[in-house]
Amino acid sequence: MERSKISSKGQIVIPKTLRETLDWREGDDVIFSLDNGKLNLQLLPKRNLTEVLSKIQGRQPNNEFDSFEQLLDAEKRSAKLRHTRGRV
């Protein structure tokens, strides 16, 4: 069992041994959930972010993006284009 402290900003450090074992890297997205008073932390695969956004927007997942940042950039461009066309 590993131990960590919560900082004044509410941050925690995931011990290196656990990060290496799980192959978690800087920039990975994680989700938090509570289950009967226990905090669960789970890695969110990047491809699922594309699927979630596609479901919200009601279209098929588009797997042409290598990263979430590329997906966000494309969505920003699309939103800007819709806005300039008057279809917010």
pLDDT digits (tens, 9 = 90+) for 21-47: 988 888 888 889 999 999 999 988 765
Q: What is the pTM of this model?
A: 0.48
The confidence band for 20, taking pLDDT boundaries of 50, 70 and 90, is very high
List the chain domain ranges. Answer: 1-44, 46-84
| Residue 50 CB coordination number (10 Å) | 19
pLDDT for the residue 74: 79
Rounded to an integer, what distance in angstroms lies between the CA atom of residue 78 and that of residue 67? Answer: 17
pLDDT for the residue 78: 80
CATH class of 1-44: mainly beta
